[in-house]
Amino acid sequence: MSHMYHLGKEHLIYAMSPDHPPALTVPAGSTIQLETRDCYSDQIVSTDSDFSQVDMSRVNPATGPVYVEGAEPGDILVVHIKTIEINNQGVMVTGPGRGVMGHELENINIRIVNIEDGYAALTDKLKVPLQKMIGVIGTAPASGSVSCGSPGEHGGNMDCKQIREGTTLLLPVNVPGALFALGDLHAAMADGEVAICGVEIAGQVTVKLDVVKAKDTEKPWPLPMLITDEHLITIASAKDLDSAANRATVNMVHFLADELGLGMHEATCLLSAAGDLRICQVVNPLKTARMELQIRYATEAGFDPQACSGQSRS
């Protein structure tokens, strides 16, 4: 077993930015355990907590950033999500102005959600199977700063429920070292995240970070992309859901055409017949959608998921 790095939850950022000094520097190919606070920075501990007293400048923290040696602009950062461990208590907040139902809810409701026997207990009777996932995960943009509350081409607050244990997320490297960070774990979250919260929870995530070097001859991949046991997925965020959905679709067509040599008509037909366009979230500053294609269609066309596992240079 090789060395495992550790980054504690005192190393928090609230925006993805090239200006943040690295909290940890690791060689490509490293395995890292990152402790995370929940999206309210663990400020809400009971139903008696006063939501008006929550320091909003500390909402949506991500743990990081991690500088990955050898990662250079144009490369792909390959994030293998090994494990997601969560604490035994989560929280949900609903109320006026919050999420899709915010116009009908008259008061703030804080719900402490106990995690027990593989379920998140919303009430004594309403128990939801755990579906652990990562809400915020990304790299620094090339310039400027993107709040950890927003998704974008750098990843960020995508709130995509497929970003879970055992999946591989491909992110763009925009700055030397990539400056990777993650946070905002959910014990469970459904497509849409209509309340503007999942079951928000602190925990820790173990990832392996690899780097795939850009080749001058290649077109850049339409990132972020996600590889699961079952699917190849493109993820896109935009001001409205229509645009996000269109972008996720265009990205997958371009990937199938540019990387796997399918014709544009062929790729478009394949997605129309076999690709599922899905909502990630409708509540963040940009909305996020994804195109899911069963991975066998990609592998039959020559896609090798192993080629994305990162030829980490030693």
Site residues, Ca ion (CB under 5 A): 39, 135, 157, 159, 184
C-alpha to C-alpha distance for 28 and 32, rounded to whole angstroms:
11
Closest CB to Ca ion among residues 138, 141: 138
Least CB distance to Ca ion at residue 261 (A): 36
Strand, coil or helix: what is 56?
helix
Shortest reach from residue 136's CB to Ca ion, in Å: 6
Q: Which residue is nearest to Ca ion (CB)?
A: 135
Distances in Å between the Cα of 139 and the Cα atoms of 18, 51, 182 are 9, 30, 9
Q: Smallest distance from the beta carbon of 183 to Ca ion, in angstroms? A: 9
- CB nearer to Ca ion: give 49 or 311: 49
Nearer residue to Ca ion within complex by CB, 190 or 295: 190
Comparison of 135 and 224: residue with beta carbon closer to Ca ion? 135
- Name the minimum Å distance from CB 138 to Ca ion: 12
| Rounded Cα gap, residues 208 and 201, in angstroms | 22
Phi, psi of 283 (to 5 degrees): -120, -5
Nearer to Ca ion (CB atom), residue 177 or residue 203: 203
> What is the Cα–Cα distance from 280 to 235, expressed in whole angstroms?
9
113 beta partners: 90
Calpha distance 107→117 (Å, rounded): 31
CB atoms within 10 A of CB 113: 24
Report in angstroms how near the CB of residue 239 gets to Ca ion at its nearest: 17
CA distance 184 to 201: 7
Whole-number minimum distance, CB 216 to Ca ion, in Å?
A: 36
Is residue 29 left, alpha or beta, with left meaning phi > 0 and alpha meaning psi from -120 to 50? left
Nearer to Ca ion, 62 or 77 (CB): 62
CB of 59 to Ca ion, least distance (A): 9
Tell the smallest beta-carbon distance from residue 300 to Ca ion (Å): 35
Nearer to Ca ion by Cβ, of 27 and 285: the residue is: 285
The residue type of 68 is: V
Tokens of 110: 């804080």
- 251: three-class secondary structure by DSSP: helix
Say if CB 190 and CB 129 are below 8 A apart: no
Name the CA dihedral angle for 100, 103, 108, 112, rounded to a multiple of 10 degrees: -20
Closest by Cα among 170, 180, 168, 184 to 141: 180
User: Least distance in Å: CB of 193 to Ca ion?
Assistant: 7
Of 89 and 157, which has the nearer Cβ to Ca ion?
157
Cα–chain center distance at 311: 23
Of 130 and 252, which has the nearer Cβ to Ca ion?
A: 130
